[in-house]
């Protein structure tokens, strides 16, 4: 029987095999490509540190997706929530020149979290009060966020010379500093790890987290036992959005210092792969995010030395998600029961979308 | 000026409508396919690549159909046969297509940044009709894909609401277990809908590369698959409604280009966001998905 | 000849059919009787191809039927009428019938031709049809059953299997319906009638097969048996005697009071119609009725899952609800046993302080309840889905009683349970009432209600009516349940 830990690894291994086939079709050496990926991600001290830096936004968005998916709320909108968080952080951050460093940082991060929370909360409210499927609404809100970002950097937040579609840099007081310069390691990584622990605690050590998980596993039963689904839906989506928005704020505060179009290379979508590899466990999101951060980081070296474009990383993400879903499907359960006896400790990571129709 | 705008509306609306009609078939059978964006992208890439190397637009279209069908087949195995989560599968399929087209594009065309142009698919002016002032160029002077797309609107309406096949399709989306008890073969019907939809979506992608941009750039579909998804909702699962919604969204996109050129005070991003914002408003206003097939998005697995 | 050879079917750990042999001959009405959960419906689904058996084979005229293929079964001539109609609610009735055997075969739908064929057949059966173009979701339950029967007959089947078809028919319709079955028999068809109404089986059947807990326990003919004998065979032992102490307790203070409860569904059809009732401390009040007369909605309103259109529910003290579908509404099958227990708010509050959940305390509490309610489970950490049906129900009852409510509302809690489990659940409920608790027991199993309830109400068409002791014979109650007024 595939244990819950072995499953993601088996999925990754199978993805590697499939990728090798794609690479062979492209006429590239799979071994060379994987070696280049690994070297680019971990080949030197700076490569390792940069992998950490690249993983940071994935931890935030991975947590956002894990929390929402745990409640069977299919938040496909972490990217938009992160974007709105970044906009809010930058909008506030440019006005904090005379604030003490610590306070400016807190304000910038809070603005990002609030922006993301609003963006996620809207989708939650639409689901709870207007019966609008959160999948559709979060996808739509992603695109609205993209256009809003574009408008901001061409309009209200455009830098004064009006030569480039970017915002002015945020005040230096609001910038998270680097450690071990010239590496870009910053406090954001630590914050992400602390939040992962907090999310784990919330899910598994609190009454609210229990209600969230109960809603995710069986919404009908949760309703019968007085769990207030509408309110919980709004709060969970707002929390999920806040986590993603915080990721956007950290990115602006520590790395980019300004807004520009295409700020996120798709962290909100990559987060789905991260969350599934982590089986929605917030603590496991950290290593899963490191894995995908390493892939992102290594992809540039892969392009330099092997001539394979960095989009290969997206192929890996897509395959990993599909393989994990295929492993997790209830369709196998009957088979597994026949071969191994009833599987009691091997519940699927992803709650079902809906209950099965009556037998 | 008006003529150019209206032609642009039709050009913008065509790929969206074509993909949306495919999605309509799938949703009537009870499946929601978010991977439509990926199928469109794959179709766009396959069409350009094959047309470029073979010099034949026709082969390019066939390639686009094959690519769309292949991607939807991956989706169908997981969603129809293995009954896994449709939303997450669709998202993964889109990511996969984005990655695959990106990797293969760079591999085949290098990273020189040189544009690989193909000749646009020939326009077929419809004789004297095309010479009517204003109406002629707007309605009767397009390539075959445009005609096919708008012809599909009444055809699909008829098939879905007036034929035996359409009735069976709707039965699968309404109550799959009852359809199964009547021996309709839910799995086969959902597969068929997904394969046909894959072909239509692939062609929608081909339109982008062979009739609109005449080249390929990464992520050329730029969210049009998701616009098609909202067209189905705003069009209330009715192919006439889909046509109306596509034209509306096409107009918003066309207007945006005009505004960008004119440099008006109204930010053009507002028009780019319109399809998405409007979808949210429609959904919120109409009280959710009351018009949607009852079993839409629910995994169905036989006992 | 329709034949089933050594059919075995298992759902998880529940053995639904255990080597069942069954045969029905052309030109006979064959009654398949058994308690709820005896495996009748599962056997029908296997014969009709909706379920593939784990072992064994179904044959028609000695030709094996393709397992698990409804289409093959229909082609071979086997049609089934399900207990809850398998109709497409948002389509018109003509479209529903077009999906059956009235299909003209042409690729273009001809709904007028379908309606004409349907009217011809309906006239023969004495059925009324809805007005042209009416959507199914707006029709009554009885109308839906008639549509489903019509659709099954439209296939012109050699074998017709009906699952409890008479339970929703009005008494006036019943005689005509039984005549219809006799006509079908006269045409040389095979009619399999699944029922738990023994009088009906004896009146209309040529042969009777009795199922108990997934096994055939008797094959007989009406002339050689009686309702009492059949009941004995079905149940296996004597029905539990009412616990005198619980029933003779004088009416205490009213704990649960429901006044003029009204509810309409989204199509504005009235589901509950000014329903009023009261339950006092120490008494068990039963509500009997045919499924689909508002029971589920009443329970949902009491549980606070939905809001009434009008009327008022007053409860003194806490209420615990045990919903009817334990696997969908009552339990979260892929969560652990202790997690399922703390789903009840009072128990969750016991193990929570300032929002923090004390897992080890929850596990200790669960271990204690597992012991006290004799739930057979590997331990508090076991996944609820790994428990047998009976133990899942013990878990639900344990959770309800441990929450220390003043009222328990229980809906079909013994459906699908074996006798031992049923007896134990009943004993827990009786003990709870004896300790001064109030119980509202909603069930479609009349025997259960007659056995343990002090007062008995009948629900029909969304409203309840009190019965007096003189009316407590199954025939009279059956009439009331079918909607008869005095």
Could you tell me if residue C347 is inside a domain?
yes
Last residue of a domain, one of C208, C235, C262: C235
Determine, yes or no, domain membership for C308: yes
CB-based contact B276 A140, cutoff 8 Å: yes
Q: Which of A245, A270, A272, A240 is nearest to A71 (CA)?
A: A240
* Residue at C127 is within a domain: yes
CB A77 within 8 A of CB A139: yes
SS3 A131: coil
Q: Note whether B287 contacts A: Cβ–Cβ < 8 A.
A: yes
Q: Give the sheet arrangement for strand C55-60, strand by strand.
A: C14-24, C2-11, C55-60, C63-64
- Find all residues with CB under 8 Å of A31, minimum gap 6, and list them: none
Where is average pLDDT lowest: A140-149, A254-263, C309-318, C472-481?
C472-481
| Plot region of B8 (φ>0 → left; ψ -120 to 50 → alpha; else → beta) | alpha
Query: Residue C207 in contact with residue C31, Cβ under 8 Å?
Result: yes
Q: How many helices (H) and strands (E) does chain C have?
A: 17, 21
Residue C71 has pLDDT above 80, yes or no: yes
Nearest C-alpha in B relative to C54: B303
What's the CATH number where C52 sits? 3.40.50.300
Same domain, C409 and C397: no
User: Distance (Å, rounded) from C-alpha B53 to C-alpha A115?
Assistant: 48
Do C398 and C410 lie in a common domain?
Answer: no
| Whether residue C78 is found in the same domain as residue C205 | yes
Domain-embedded: residue C460: yes
pLDDT of residue A70: 94
Residue C483's pLDDT is: 62
Tokens (6 digits) for A178: 């680097």
Residue A335 reports pLDDT greater than 70: no
pLDDT at C231 over 80: no
Are residues C265 and C187 located together in one domain of the fold? no
Measured between CB atoms, which of B164, B171, B181 is closest to C50? B181
pLDDT at residue C249 tops 60: no
Does the structure show a pLDDT above 80 at C267? no
Q: Which residue is it, tokens 């969970």?
A: A236
How far apart CA A344 and CA C313 sit, in angstroms, is 40
* H-helix or E-strand spanning residue A7: helix A6-26
Q: Is the same domain home to C52 and C176?
A: yes
Among the listed residues A137, A148, A140, A154, the one whose alpha carbon sits nearest the alpha carbon of residue A115: A148
Q: How far apart are CA C81 and CA C147, in angstroms?
A: 10
C72 in the same domain as C27 = yes
Contact of B180 with chain C, judged by CB distance below 8 Å, is answered with: yes
Among the residue ranges A78-82, C114-118, C247-251, C338-342, the one predicted with the least confidence is C247-251
Write out the two tokens for C277: 């009732």
pLDDT (0 to 100) of residue A333: 46
Higher pLDDT, A301 or B157: B157
Query: What chain B residue is nearest to C94 in terms of C-alpha separation?
Result: B167
Facing B99 at nearest CB: one of A315, A330, A353: A315
Left (φ > 0), alpha (ψ -120 to 50) or beta: where does B60 sit? alpha
In a domain, C331, yes or no: no
Residue from C86, C87, C335 whose CB has the most chain A CBs within 10 Å, to mutate: C335
> Which of B283, C95, C22 has the alpha carbon at shortest distance from A132?
B283
HEC readout, A178-227:
EECCCCCEEHHHHHHHHHHHHHHHHHHHEHHHHHHHHHHHCHHHHHHCCC
Domain count along chain C? 3
Rounded CA-CA distance C438/C457 in Å is 15
**What mean pLDDT do residues A320-341 have?**
61
Both C304 and C443 in one domain: the answer is yes
List b or e across C61-80, with b for residues whose CB sees 16 or more CB atoms inside 10 angstroms.
eeeebebbbbeebbebbbbb
- Taking an 8 Å cut-off on Cβ atoms, the answer to whether C86 and B177 are in contact is yes
Sole residue written with tokens 């009146």: C203
CA distance A3 to A279: 12
Mean pLDDT in residue range A336-353: 41
Using the Cβ of A221 and the Cβ atoms of chain C, whether some distance falls under 8 Å is answered with: yes
Contacting partners of chain B (3+ CB pairs under 8 A): A, C
**Containing structural domain, residue C296:** 244-318+405-481
Identify whether the C-beta of residue C377 lies closer than 8 Å to the C-beta of residue C422.
no
Using an 8 Å CB-CB cutoff, list chain B residues near A154.
Answer: 267, 269
- The pLDDT, as a whole number, for residue B290 is 65
| Segments in chain B below pLDDT 70 | 111-115, 263-264, 287-290, 303
**Interface residue of C86, C111, C112 to substitute, partner B, most B CBs within 10 Å:** C86
The pLDDT tens digits for C3-18 are 999 999 987 667 888 9
Say if CB B13 and CB B212 are below 8 A apart: no
Residue among A224, A348, A359 minimizing CB distance to C323: A224
Domain end point (choices C235, C266, C291): C235
Question: Which neighbouring-strand residues pair with C261?
Answer: C275
- pLDDT tens, residue by residue, A250-280: 999 999 999 999 899 999 999 998 998 888 9
For chain C, which chains pass the contact test of at least 3 CB pairs under 8 Å? A, B
C348 domain-assigned:
yes
The rounded distance, in Å, linking the Cα atoms of A61 and A79 is 8
My answer on whether C388 and C261 are in the same domain is no
Q: How far apart are the first and last CA of chain B?
A: 61
Q: Does B291 touch chain C (CB under 8 A)?
A: no
Side-chain-side CA neighbours of residue C396 (13 Å): 34
Largest interatomic CA distance in chain B = 62
Place of tokens 């209330």: B236
CA B160, C95, B17 angle in degrees (round to 5)? Answer: 15
Separation of alpha carbons B279 and B284, rounded Å: 8
Do residues C197 and C231 both lie within one domain? yes
d(CA A34, CA A18): 13
Q: How many CA atoms lie within 13 A of B13 on its CB side?
A: 28
The residues with which A166 forms a beta bridge, in sequence order, are A260
In the listed set C402, C432, C460, which residue is the last one of a domain according to the structure? C402
Whether residue C410 sits in one domain with residue C264: yes
Query: What DSSP element (H or E) covers B24?
Result: helix B2-28
The answer to whether the Cβ–Cβ distance between B165 and C107 falls below 8 Å is yes
Note if the pTM is more than 0.95.
no
Measured between CA atoms, how close is B179 to chain A, in angstroms? 13
Q: Kindly tell me if the per-residue pLDDT of A173 is higher than 70.
A: yes
Cβ of residue A22 closer than 8 Å to a chain B Cβ = yes
| Chain B residues lying within 8 Å of C103, measured CB to CB | 164
Q: Which residue of C has its CA nearest to A335?
A: C12
**CB-based burial label for C188 (10 Å; 0-12, 13-18, 19+):** exposed
The Cα of C71 is separated from the nearest Cα of chain B by a number of Å equal to 4
Size of interface B-C (CB pairs under 8 A): 68
Residues 6+ apart with CB under 8 A from B139: B10, B129
Q: Is A140 on the interface with B (CB under 8 A)?
A: yes
Work out the minimum CA distance from A215 to partner chain C, whole angstroms.
Answer: 10
Confirm whether C324 is domain-assigned.
no
Residues of B in contact with A26 (CB under 8 A): 103-104, 107
**For residue C320, is pLDDT > 50?**
yes
C-alpha to C-alpha distance for B195 and B190, rounded to whole angstroms: 9
Kindly report the nearest CA distance between residue C428 and chain A, in angstroms.
Answer: 21
Confidence at residue C125, expressed as pLDDT on a 0 to 100 scale:
75
Average pLDDT for chain C: 84
Q: Are residues C410 and C397 located together in one domain of the fold?
A: no
Question: Which residues, at least 6 apart from B147, have a Cβ–Cβ distance to it below 8 Å?
Answer: B124
Please tell me whether residues C378 and C472 are part of one structural domain: no
| Percent of chain C whose predicted confidence (pLDDT) is above 70 | 91
User: Do A321 and B289 lie within an 8 Å CB cutoff?
Assistant: no
| Alpha carbons B67 and A353: distance in angstroms, whole number | 28
Report how far residue C425's alpha carbon sits from residue C375's, in angstroms, rounded to the nearest whole number: 12
């Amino acid at each position: 029987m595939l244990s819950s830990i072995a499953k993601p690894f088996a999925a990754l291994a199978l993805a590697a095999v499939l990728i090798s086939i794609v690479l062979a079709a492209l006429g590239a050496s799979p071994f060379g490509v994987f070696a280049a990926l690994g070297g680019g991600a971990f080949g030197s001290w700076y490569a390792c540190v940069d992998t950490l830096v690249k993983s940071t936004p994935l931890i935030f968005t991975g947590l956002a997706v894990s929390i929402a998916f745990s409640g069977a709320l299919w938040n496909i909108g972490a990217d938009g929530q992160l974007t709105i968080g970044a906009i809010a952080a930058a909008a506030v951050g440019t006005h904090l020149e005379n604030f003490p460093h610590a306070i400016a940082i807190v304000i910038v991060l809070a603005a990002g979290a609030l922006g993301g929370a609003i963006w996620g909360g809207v989708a939650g409210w639409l689901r709870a009060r207007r019966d609008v499927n959160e999948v559709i609404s979060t996808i739509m809100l992603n695109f609205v966020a993209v256009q809003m970002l574009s408008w901001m950097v061409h309009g209200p937040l455009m830098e004064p010379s009006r030569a480039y579609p970017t915002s002015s840099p945020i005040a230096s007081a609001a910038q998270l500093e680097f450690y071990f310069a010239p590496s870009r390691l910053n406090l954001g990584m630590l914050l992400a790890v602390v939040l992962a622990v907090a999310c784990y605690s919330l899910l598994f050590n609190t009454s609210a987290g229990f209600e969230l998980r109960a809603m995710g596993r069986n919404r009908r039963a949760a309703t019968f036992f007085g769990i207030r689904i509408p309110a919980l839906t709004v709060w969970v989506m707002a929390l999920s959005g806040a986590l993603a928005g915080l990721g956007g704020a950290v990115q602006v505060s520590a790395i980019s210092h300004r807004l520009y179009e295409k700020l996120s290379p798709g962290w909100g979508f990559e987060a789905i792969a991260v969350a599934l590899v982590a089986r929605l466990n917030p603590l496991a999101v950290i290593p899963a995010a490191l894995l995908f951060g390493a892939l992102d980081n290594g992809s540039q070296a892969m392009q330099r030395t092997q001539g394979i474009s960095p989009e290969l990383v997206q192929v890996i993400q897509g395959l990993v998600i599909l393989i994990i879903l295929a492993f997790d499907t209830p369709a196998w359960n009957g088979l597994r029961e026949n071969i191994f006896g009833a599987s009691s400790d091997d519940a699927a990571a992803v709650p079902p979308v809906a209950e099965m129709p009556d037998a | 000026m008006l003529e150019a705008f209206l032609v642009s509306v039709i050009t913008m609306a065509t790929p969206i409508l074509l993909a949306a009609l495919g999605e309509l078939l799938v949703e009537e059978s009870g499946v929601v396919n978010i991977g439509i964006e990926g199928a469109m992208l794959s179709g766009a890439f396959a069409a350009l690549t094959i047309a470029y190397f073979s010099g034949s637009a026709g082969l390019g279209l066939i390639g686009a159909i094959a690519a769309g069908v292949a991607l939807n087949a991956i989706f169908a195995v997981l969603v129809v046969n293995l009954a896994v989560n449709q939303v997450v599968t669709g998202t993964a399929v889109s990511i996969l297509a984005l990655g695959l087209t990106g990797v293969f594009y760079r591999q085949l065309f290098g990273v020189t940044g040189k544009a690989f142009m193909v000749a646009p698919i020939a326009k077929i002016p419809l004789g004297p009709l095309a010479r009517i002032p204003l109406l002629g160029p707007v309605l009767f002077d397009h390539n075959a894909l445009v005609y096919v797309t708008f012809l599909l609107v009444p055809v699909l309406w008829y098939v879905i609401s007036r034929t035996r096949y359409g009735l069976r399709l709707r039965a699968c989306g309404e109550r799959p277990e009852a359809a199964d008890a009547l021996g309709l073969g839910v799995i086969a019907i959902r597969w068929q809908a997904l394969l046909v939809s894959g072909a239509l979506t692939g062609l929608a992608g081909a339109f982008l590369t062979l009739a609109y941009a005449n080249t390929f750039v990464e992520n050329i579909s730029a969210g049009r698959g998701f616009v098609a998804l909202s067209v189905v909702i705003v069009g209330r699962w009715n192919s006439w409604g889909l046509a109306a919604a596509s034209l509306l969204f096409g107009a918003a996109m066309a207007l945006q280009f005009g505004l960008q050129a004119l440099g008006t005070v109204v930010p053009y991003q507002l028009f780019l966001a319109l399809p998405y914002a409007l979808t949210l408003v429609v959904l919120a206003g109409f009280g959710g998905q009351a018009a949607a097939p009852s079993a839409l998005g629910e995994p169905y697995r036989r006992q | 000849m329709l034949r089933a050879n050594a059919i075995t079917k298992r759902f998880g750990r529940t053995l639904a059919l255990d080597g069942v042999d069954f045969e029905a001959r052309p030109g006979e009405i064959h009654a398949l009787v058994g308690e709820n959960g005896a495996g009748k419906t599962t056997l029908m689904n296997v014969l009709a191809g909706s379920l593939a058996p784990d072992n064994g084979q179904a044959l028609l005229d000695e030709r094996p039927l393709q397992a698990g293929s409804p289409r093959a079964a229909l082609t071979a001539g086997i049609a089934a009428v399900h207990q809850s109609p398998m109709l497409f609610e948002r389509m018109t009735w003509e479209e529903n019938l077009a999906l059956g055997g009235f299909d003209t075969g042409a690729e273009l739908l001809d709904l007028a031709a379908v309606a004409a064929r349907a009217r011809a057949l309906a006239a023969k059966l004495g059925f009324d049809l809805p007005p042209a173009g009416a959507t199914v979701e707006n029709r009554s339950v009885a109308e839906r059953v008639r549509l489903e029967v019509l659709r099954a007959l439209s296939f012109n089947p050699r074998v017709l299997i009906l699952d409890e078809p008479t339970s929703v028919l009005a008494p006036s319709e019943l005689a005509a319906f039984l005549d219809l079955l006799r006509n079908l028999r006269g045409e040389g068809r095979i009619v399999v009638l699944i029922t738990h109404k023994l009088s009906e089986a004896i009146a209309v059947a040529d042969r009777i097969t009795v199922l108990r807990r997934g096994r055939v326990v008797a094959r007989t003919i009406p002339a050689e048996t009686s309702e009492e004998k059949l009941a004995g065979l079905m149940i296996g032992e004597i029905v539990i005697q009412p616990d005198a102490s619980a029933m003779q307790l004088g009416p205490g203070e009213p704990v649960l009071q429901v006044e003029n409860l009204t509810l309409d569904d989204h199509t504005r059809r009235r589901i509950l119609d000014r329903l009023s009732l009261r339950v006092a401390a120490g008494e068990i009040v039963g509500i009997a009725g045919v499924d689909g007369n508002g029971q589920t909605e009443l329970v949902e309103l009491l549980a606070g899952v939905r809001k009434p259109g009008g009327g008022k529910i007053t409860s003194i003290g806490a209420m615990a609800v045990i919903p009817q579908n334990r696997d969908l509404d009552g339990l979260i099958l892929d969560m652990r046993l202790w997690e399922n227990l703390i789903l009840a708010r009072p128990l969750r509050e016991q193990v929570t302080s300032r929002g923090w959940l004390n897992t080890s305390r929850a596990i200790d509490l669960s271990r204690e309840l597992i012991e006290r309610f004799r739930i057979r489970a590997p331990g508090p950490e076991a996944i609820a889905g790994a428990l047998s049906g009976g133990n899942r129900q013990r878990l639900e009852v344990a959770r309800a009683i441990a929450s220390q409510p003043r009222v328990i509302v229980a809906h079909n809690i013994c459906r699908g349970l074996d006798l031992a489990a049923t007896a134990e659940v009943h004993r827990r409920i009786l003990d709870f009432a004896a300790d001064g608790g109030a119980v509202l027991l909603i069930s479609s199993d009349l025997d259960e209600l007659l056995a343990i309830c002090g007062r008995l109400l009948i629900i029909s068409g969304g409203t309840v009516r009190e019965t007096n002791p003189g009316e407590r014979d199954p025939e009279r109650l059956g009439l009331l349940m079918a909607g008869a007024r005095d």
